[in-house]
Amino acid sequence: MLPKLMAANWKMYKATAQARASAEELCTLLPVTPEQREILVCPPFTAIAAVAAVFAGKPGFLTGAQNLYPKEEGAFTGEISPDMLKDAGARWVLTGHSERRSLFGESDAQVGAKTAFALAQGLNAVLCIGETLDQREAGQLEQVLARQLAAGLADVPPSCPPVCLAVAYEPVWAIGTGKVAGPKEILEAHALVRRLLCEKLGMSRELRILYGGSVKPDNASEIIGLDNVDGVLVGGASLQAESFSRIVRA
Ligand code: PEP
């Protein structure tokens, strides 16, 4: 079984000095990675190198990016390639985060192109999926997750090693709202994601499925103990090293 992946998404917070200080504090609070845990921090692009330098030589501490552009290089003003992310020290990248989808208009097809290109270029990827409240209330949970998974993994072969790819189930209505999905909702959605991944898409059973959406130190341990929850993706509560370290230990 792969270790649980405890991921932090720092969004557009922390300039280099603050990011370095937070990464150092995290290493002090977690002198060794707790058993069966991997820690992934995704800072803004400008702080990737600083965080990667702090984590260098620390087993279980990983650095990631929050986005990429699916081309090797070219006239793509403002964009960043997988090689540039690797050069800065990133080994992972998030694709399809709901803020990318809703604020920047990323389509399912674009998310699929980013996920496949990231993997082809040697980055590991966390593909984020999740339904809005309207979709959930309209009974469209399975339809939405099936569509996002099929498109997000359209060009990813089932032979993709499970260690290179994770899926984060993040109900949009629970991101940054303080509303956490209940255990029943998480269990149901994660079982559904597992079934879609294995039966419809032929992916490995070992693929990690993370839960994201208002995870905090006081709810992390219940969430991480649920079936088919192989880690968490944390926004707000990952910004303070102290609270993220408690989530990692949950
Ligand atoms: C996220 O940004 O992926 C997220 C889950 O945010 P929060 O933990 O703040 O809900």
pLDDT, tens digit, 9 for 90 and up, residues 183-215 = 999 999 999 999 999 999 999 999 999 999 999
The per-residue pLDDT for 184 is 96
Q: What is the mean pLDDT of residues 29-43?
A: 93
Question: Does the structure show a pLDDT above 90 at 84?
Answer: yes
Residue 242 CB contacts under 8 Å (≥ 6 apart), including other chains: 25, 29
User: Do the bridges between strand 61-65 and strand 92-95 make them parallel or antiparallel, or are there none, so unpaired?
Assistant: parallel
Segments forming the whole domain that contains residue 50: 4-248
Distance linking the first and last C-alpha atoms of the chain = 18
171 lines ligand 1 (CB under 6 A): no
Domain count, the chain: 1
Q: What is the mean pLDDT of residues 96-115?
A: 98
Sign of CA dihedral 171, 175, 177, 182: positive
The per-residue pLDDT for 54 is 98
Domain CATH number, residue 188: 3.20.20.70
The per-residue pLDDT for 34 is 82
Cα of 237 vs centre of ligand 1, distance in Å, is 8
Q: What is the mean pLDDT of residues 72-80?
A: 98
Nearest-CA residue for atom 8 of ligand 1: 235
214 lines ligand 1 (CB under 6 A): yes
Residue numbers annotated as active site: 97, 170
106 lines ligand 1 (CB under 6 A): no
User: What is the DSSP secondary structure assignment for residue 140, as one 8-state letter?
Assistant: -
The per-residue pLDDT for 39 is 98
Helix, strand or coil for residue 127? Answer: strand
